[in-house]
Structures are given as structure tokens and as C-alpha cells.
Structure 1
Amino acid sequence: WFGEGADKVESLLCKRNEFTINCSGFDSQGVNPTVFASVIMRKDFRPVVNYSVPTQVNISFTVSSILDVDEQLQLLTSFLWLDLVWDNAFISWNPEECGGIQRISMMTQNLWLPDIFVIESVDVDQTPTGLTAYVSNEGRIKYKKPMRVTTICNLDIFRFPFDQQNCTLTFSSFLYTVDDILLGMEKEVWEIVDTSRNLIKTQGERELLSINEATPKMAVGSSLHDQIMFHVAIKRRPGLYVINLLVPSGFLIAIDALSFLLPVESGNRAPFKMTLLLGYTAFLLMMNDLLPASGIPLISVYFALCLTLMVTSLLESVLLTYLLHMVTTQPPPMPSWLYSLVLRYITATECCNKGSQKENRGPGHNSIHLPGQKDPVALAGWEPGPGKAELNEDPQSTWAESEQEIQRHRTMDMWVKFSLALDTLLFWLYLLFMISSLITVIAL
């Protein structure tokens, strides 16, 4: 029994020493390439002695730059440095017998490489050829390769330009199952994030926020593949879009709101608003290239609301111009419900401005000179004076005409005050929309 045991131990030692590299070629002048001939011959096979034992491959990566984000095609293009670490059982040597050399570099074409790829990738692997890897005296392989990766990413642009995206990078093996390759982490996630932030030197449109890790298994038919999933959160830098989109739009809307201060009877408000509307339309056409090519972001809804509000204010100015022109010809009778609303509005405004009216009671204080009238008429607070009819006319006819004139001027006064009340209401709606829009932008 002792003889058989000694034979087994000796057999195991022989197998262990079978892959130990002879250090006769290691000296201060370099490494003799012939000593790795046996390793190069086995590069087509997974470097394990027992094939029932899976190879542990540890993964780490660094985001060097975010090159492009295509919202229309839902693609993310980034540049990565992928780090792979695994053990090669066919390589080992004693540093003390090899001139103290503990690590050398070898061409990757002479080594077995795990087929790790990104599942979300939709482009051909553009890894350059002729790369090298570090090999330690214990057979530990450290391989770093650059990758330009174009991956599918579900991009949500509703909050553009304040949007944040969460893209996924899943590393797995295409050929080997969990019986052959197991994946692990070479670095902690926080180390990956810190290294990536320090390495990114370009101040592009996107910036890296965070990276989270998940390790689900992937089933392909009856096979089970190991994989490591990383959720990469990126954010858009909104400064360019705020200066080129939001600020000019806010200025145009503010000027359009201030145009309500123009006298409505002057007839200059509608042409001014038309000019602003044409300018805003030209602004949207020029800034169309800055907006996403697909989807409906919130900022597009904001622009549509601004355009709708400017068109509504223009229509309101046209309506007021039509009403004031109609007042100078033949004002129609006012509906009773509208008449009561205008009376309530007049009562409320007179109560608020009672003090100022007492100080400024002079004639013509609230008068509006309407286009088409020969003489200005004080419509607000107008009271009929003594008649100046001709003595040779019928008194009853003169009194009837005087009553018709008084009724006509009252109707004119109510329509004018309705127009002014409508103008004031739309002005406050304008201010309310501007304030709510500003609060929304700040909240985003």
C-alpha cells in the first residue's frame, strides 16, 4: 500500500511539473522564446488540467469616453477599456531560478483568450490586433483591450434636455457555458466609477453618473451561460440647450406678453404680434436641428404651447380690433349673461379704484378715442347732458332720438369695457403661463 501511495504522489508531482517552464533561457538579456513552445502549442485549448473544472475569468472595465447617443436609432456608442484576468495552468516558473523575473508580456495571438463580448452590441468588434498580455510566474494572465462599442439602449427623451439615461452593458461568453467559464469581478464597482470619471477628459454632451452591477444567468436553449450586467447611468449637459432654446423662447414670450401694454385702440398691437409670431416660427425652424429626431420631448410640448399662446393672443388682438370697429358703426345688443358679467367686473374695479377716481374726476379721464369717430366720446362713465335739439323739431321725436343715442352709447361703453376686461384676462393668463413654465423648468 505504501508503494502504491508513493507511486500516486510521484505521478501527481510529475503532472504538476509537466507544465513548469525550464528557466535556462531566462537571463538578463531576455527570454528565450523556445521555452514557451509548449504553451503556444496548447493555445487552442482551454488552459486547464482537469476539464471538469471551469475557468474563472474576472472582468473589469473603464469608460474612457461617451462618443455618441443616437435617440432616433436608440444606440449608445462608447469607448471602453476591458480588463480580463484568468489563470493558465500550462504556465509556471520559479522566479528564483529565472533571474528574478516574475512577469513578462506575450502576444495575445500566442495565448488562449476567453470569448467575452457585450450582448447589447450591434456592431462588429473593432478591437485592434497585435495586442499583448501580461503573464505572471504563477500563470495569471492579465489582458487589457480597447473596445469601441455601439450598444442598444432604451433612450427616454421626454425630459430633454434634462434627461438621464440608463444603458446596460452585459458581458458574457458566446461559446462557453457555466461548466466551462465562470465570470467574476476584478474590481469593485466604485473603483470602476472613480477610474472612469478620472479618465474621461472630454467635455462632451453626456457625463457619467453611476454604474451598478447585476449578475443574472442567461439561458440559451438548454445551455446556461454566465454573465455580468452593468447599468450605466449617463446625463445630458443641458447648458447648450438652455441658452439656445429656452432663453430665446422665454424672451420672445415675454415681449409678446408686454405687447398687451400697447393701447388697444391704436391698431398697432396686431401687426406687432404678427411680427413676433413670424420671428418665433423662424426661431423654431432654425433650432429644429438641436431637438431629438424622434419622440416627443417635453420641450417640444412647451414650444407648441408657446406658439399656441402667441397665435391665441394674435387672434385676441384681431377680435378686439373688430369689436372696437363695430362699436363705431352699429354695436349689437349685448346678451344678458354677458351684460351681468361686465357689470360685476365694473363694480369690482370701481370699488378697487374708488380713491383714484375721486382724485381724477376731470372730464375725459377714462375716454377712449375709437377709430372712425369724428369726435372723441367719453365712454367710461358717460352721462347725457341737456339736449340741444332745434326748436322747430317735434319734442317727442327729439326725445326719442336722444334716448336712442344714450342707449347706443351705453351699449358702446359696455362692449368697450368687455373688450378691456377680456384683454386684461388674457394678459393675466399669459403671466400665469410664463410663471408656471419657469417653475417647471427650474423643477426639472
Structure 2
Amino acid sequence: MEGEWAPVQGFLLYLTVSLLLQGRGNTFIINCSRFDQYGVDPAVFQAVFDRKAFRPFINYSIPTHVNISFTLSAILEVDAQLQLLTSFLWISLMWDNPFIRWNPEECVNINKLTVSAENLWLPDIFIMESMDVDRAPPELAAYVSSEGRIKYNRPLKVTSICNLDIFYFPFDQQNCTFTFTSFLYTVDSMLLGMDKEVWEITDTSRNIIQTQGEWELVGINKATQKMLVGSSVYDQIMFYVAIRRRPRLYVINLLVPSGFLVAIDALSFYLPAESETRAPFKITLLLGYNVFLLMMNDLLPASGTPLISVYFALCLSLMVLSLLETIFITYLLHLATTQPPPMPQWLHSLLLHCTSPRKCCPTAPQKGNKGLGLTPTQLPGLKEPVELVGKVPGPREAELNGCPGSTRGQQEDEAQKQHLVSLWLQFSHMMDTLLFRLYLLFMATSIITVIILWNT
């Protein structure tokens, strides 16, 4: 019995090994005898299609290497209020399937085939920052080479979280990230790599990117890291995408009109202080600037406080200060020509110092003028002080009226009043010049500071 059992046992062992070898050969080498003029017979790939639910591997301890690349083809929207970036990507994944092999020489020199992606195992690569469902079109195909290399391309509209900083609007630059990782496979089962170099991805994206005229691509960088979730470690590739806003639209529609209005407001100081048109002109400019801000409010970001809002608030404050300065000077002129109060000694000394001929001041007295500069009769737009304080009777008129003793006293009082009016008028013009220079200094300092902040 034992002698008869030995040949049977040997035959069973041979049959088992033969079947295993045959199955292993059919698994890795596809029979292309049916690749003829009628096309590829899908039956030859049926064994591969039946394994699509499992990760293709020969040795379970060897992870599948998936190479990733993408092309940023469009920046659709940047929502500063919701902190979202909507873009359009062409994602490319590449990996090896060891169960797909054929000899091109035996298969009418076919080196590459397109296979429906739903019949293949696909890595579960996703973008961590994505806040929307995958809206890739269905029934996509993948390229399969004779060596078993699979390349899968798919378009994807991505709405991702991006930490947007709008402080430097409209000269802002945003840095957003696309983190590619696997949802299921750890580093023991899947490792991520690069299909292209970063500079190739950047150049390709710059060549084909399509925007709505507002954003441009600055550059793309990458970083590889591991993500630890509990005791599981996942492989990741992070792409840092830097985009910059094109400020031309906002410069033309916001900054240029605002600069013109502020410049006109500064030039309005050259209107005569005694003129009654300076204050209404400044009020009209102020109202016009408010209307401009209301009309341009839709172009400004809806959230945060960008630097341009500070700039507009600064311009509005300058125009308000300009109006207040005009009101103050108008009050001084009115006070000087109606009921001028006695001038304090310190103010009189300061006025003498500022109006001395050695000082380069617009209010300095001209040659041939006695006292402290121009008299009220020489100031345009003002009535003569004689008319304001009363007509001074002449000596003959005083004698006819029977008061010869009071003639000299009245003349001295009238001369003192005229001198006091002249002092206050000159002080008003000096204050107008001083405040105008302070206004120009503050305006220039503020605008230069804002420009420096924008350039940093």
C-alpha cells in the first residue's frame, strides 16, 4: 500500500505546482493573441478587472508608489470673506500594477492602451483643504503601458480653504496650500512621490493658466511630510501656491480718483483766505469724496480692514481738517475786522519775530511798509477798517462841530484800532500759511508711509 501511495502523492504534488505556475504566468503575462484588427478583447484583461477592489501588490510588505503632479489651469474666485480659493486643476497620478504585462512584439506593437478607470484600482488621493465634493466628470480613462504603468489624469474644480491676508489689498499676495494625501492607506501600503519637478509644474501652469484678469501665478513650492493620526502614519505632499493680485483695476478706479480729490483740496489753500468761496469749495469736495467712497464700496473687500481703507479714512480726515482750518481762519478774519481783541504781548512778540525781513515767510512785510506789514486797506476782499470802526472826522470838521480838543484823541484811537486790525489780519495770514504747511507735511508723511507699507 505504501508503495502504491507514493506515486499518487507525487502526481498530486506535480499537478498542484503546475497549476500554480500556470496561474502565476497568466496573472503577470497577458495573452495578446486576440489583439487583432477587431480591437482588444476585454476578456484578456478580465483577471485584472476582477482585482480592482484590492491594491495591486505581489508582496504585501512592499508599498505602492504613487507619483503626483498637477497643473493649475484657472483661478476662478478668491473669496476673502469666507477665506476660500476656487481653482481648476488637472491632476495626474501614476503607479505600477504588477498584474498587467504584455509583450508588444506579440501584440501588433501596441505599447499603450486606454482603459476605463472604473475597471482599475485607483489610489484614494484627495486634497485635504478641499471643502467641496469631487465633481470630476465620470467615465474617465487611464493610460496603461505594456510594463504595467498606469497614468490617470482627471480635471477637478477645487474649492479649498486658504488663509487670506487682505491687509495689503490691492497689492496683496496670497499663499495657499494643496495637501495631497491618502485617506485609507498608511506609509506601509502607499508612498507618494513626484511625477514632475516643481519648476515644470510651475512653468506649465503659467503657460496655460486662465484667470479673470485679477490674479496671476507667482510660483509653486513643495514640501513632503508625514501626518500622524493616532498610531497611523500617512504620507503627504504639500504644494504652496503663491498668487498675486493684478492691481491695475483698483489703482485706476480707487487710488487715482482719491489722489486727484486730495490734490485739489490741497490746492484750494491758494484761494484767498478773505474769499467767501474757499469754505463752500472745500465742503463740495468733501461731499464729493463721500459719494466716491459710497460708489466704490463694492470694489473693497467685505471683511477685514485693508490698508486701502486706512488710506481712504486718512484722506477723508485730511479733507475734514482742511475744512476746519478754513473755518478757523475765517473766524480770525471776521474777528479782526469787527471787534479785534487786545493782542497778548507774547503773541505780538512772536508775530514780530515771524514777520521780520530776515525770515522767509509769505506774511513778511514788504519794503516801504511801516509797522507789521500790510494794512487792512491793502488786503483784497476786505472792507476798509475806516468803514468798519467808523469814519474819522477830519480836523476842519471837528472844529466846525465845536470839539477841537477831542480831534487828536479820536485820531489816536482810530489809529490804534487800525493798527490792531492790521496785527490780527497779519496773524490770520500767518496761521493760514503755517497750517497749510503742516497740512502738506502731514499729508506727504501719511501717503509715503502707506506706500512703504504697500511695498513691504
Aligned partners of 1:280, 1:210: CA distance in 2, in Å? 39
User: Cα distance 1:335–1:159, how it changes in 2: closer, same or farther (>3 A)?
Assistant: farther
1:293-308 to 2 correspondence within 5 Å? 293-308=302-317
Match of 2:90 in 1: 81
Counterpart residue identity of residue 405, structure 1:
E
When normalised by structure 2's length, the TM-score is 0.86
**How far does residue 17 in structure 1 lie from its aligned partner after superposition?**
5.1
1:414-433 to 2 correspondence within 5 Å? 414-433=423-442
Say yes or no: does 1:222 pair with 2:245. no
- Alignment deviations for residues 55-84 of structure 1 (CA, whole Å, 9 cap, x no partner): 100000000010000111111111000010
Match of 2:99 in 1: 90
Counterpart residue identity of residue 85, structure 2:
L
Match of 1:368 in 2: 379
Say yes or no: does 1:241 pair with 2:257. no
**How far does residue 44 in structure 1 lie from its aligned partner after superposition?**
0.5
Say yes or no: does 1:23 pair with 2:7. no
Q: Flag structure 2 segments of 5+ consecutive residues without an equivalent.
A: 1-12
Say yes or no: does 1:130 pair with 2:139. yes
Contact 1:327 1:412 in 2 (8 A): yes
**How far does residue 216 in structure 1 lie from its aligned partner after superposition?**
1.4
**How far does residue 344 in structure 1 lie from its aligned partner after superposition?**
2.3
Aligned partners of 2:162, 2:356: CA distance in 1, in Å? 62
Contact 1:368 1:376 in 2 (8 A): no
Aligned partners of 2:333, 2:306: CA distance in 1, in Å? 41
Counterpart residue identity of residue 25, structure 1:
R
User: Of residues 270, 277, 280 in structure 1, which corresponds to 2:286?
Assistant: 277
- Alignment deviations for residues 333-387 of structure 1 (CA, whole Å, 9 cap, x no partner): 334443333332212675668999348999979821565657579xxxxxx9x97
- Alignment deviations for residues 293-341 of structure 1 (CA, whole Å, 9 cap, x no partner): 1111111111101101101111111121122112222122334443333
Contact 2:376 2:422 in 1 (8 A): no
User: Cα distance 1:123–1:334, how it changes in 2: closer, same or farther (>3 A)?
Assistant: farther
Say yes or no: does 1:183 pair with 2:197. no
User: Cα distance 1:356–1:413, how it changes in 2: closer, same or farther (>3 A)?
Assistant: closer
Aligned partners of 1:355, 1:248: CA distance in 2, in Å? 37
SS at match of 1:357: coil
Counterpart residue identity of residue 316, structure 1:
E
Counterpart residue identity of residue 180, structure 2:
F
Percent same amino acid among aligned pairs?
62
Aligned partners of 2:200, 2:396: CA distance in 1, in Å? 98
**How far does residue 204 in structure 1 lie from its aligned partner after superposition?**
2.0
Counterpart residue identity of residue 432, structure 1:
L
User: Of residues 58, 61, 67 in structure 2, which corresponds to 1:52?
Assistant: 61
Moved more, 332-341 or 321-330: 332-341
Contact 2:376 2:385 in 1 (8 A): no
- Which is greater in Rg? 2
Say yes or no: does 1:390 pair with 2:402. no
**How far does residue 416 in structure 1 lie from its aligned partner after superposition?**
1.8
Contact 1:116 1:171 in 2 (8 A): yes
Contact 2:363 2:426 in 1 (8 A): no
Match of 1:43 in 2: 52
SS at match of 2:356: helix
Contact 1:325 1:371 in 2 (8 A): no
Aligned partners of 1:109, 1:206: CA distance in 2, in Å? 36
1:193-212 to 2 correspondence within 5 Å? 193-212=202-221
Match of 2:10 in 1: none
When normalised by structure 1's length, the TM-score is 0.88
Aligned partners of 1:387, 1:274: CA distance in 2, in Å? 49
User: Of residues 114, 137, 140 in structure 1, which corresponds to 2:149?
Assistant: 140
Aligned partners of 1:288, 1:204: CA distance in 2, in Å? 20
Counterpart residue identity of residue 398, structure 2:
E
User: Of residues 302, 305, 317 in structure 1, which corresponds to 2:326?
Assistant: 317
SS at match of 2:251: helix
Counterpart residue identity of residue 272, structure 1:
F
Match of 2:163 in 1: 154
**How far does residue 92 in structure 1 lie from its aligned partner after superposition?**
0.9
**Count of matched residue pairs:** 432
Aligned partners of 1:104, 1:27: CA distance in 2, in Å? 14
User: Cα distance 1:419–1:33, how it changes in 2: closer, same or farther (>3 A)?
Assistant: same
Q: Flag structure 1 segments of 5+ consecutive residues without an equivalent.
A: 378-383
- Alignment deviations for residues 21-64 of structure 1 (CA, whole Å, 9 cap, x no partner): 11122123310011111111100000112221111000000000
Aligned partners of 2:322, 2:362: CA distance in 1, in Å? 27
User: Cα distance 1:155–1:175, how it changes in 2: closer, same or farther (>3 A)?
Assistant: same
User: Cα distance 1:374–1:344, how it changes in 2: closer, same or farther (>3 A)?
Assistant: closer
SS at match of 2:113: strand
Aligned partners of 2:436, 2:422: CA distance in 1, in Å? 21
Match of 1:380 in 2: none
- Alignment deviations for residues 245-291 of structure 1 (CA, whole Å, 9 cap, x no partner): 01101111111111111111121100010111100000000000011
Contact 1:370 1:376 in 2 (8 A): no
Counterpart residue identity of residue 303, structure 2:
S
Aligned partners of 1:9, 1:344: CA distance in 2, in Å? 118
Contact 2:336 2:424 in 1 (8 A): yes
Say yes or no: does 1:111 pair with 2:117. no
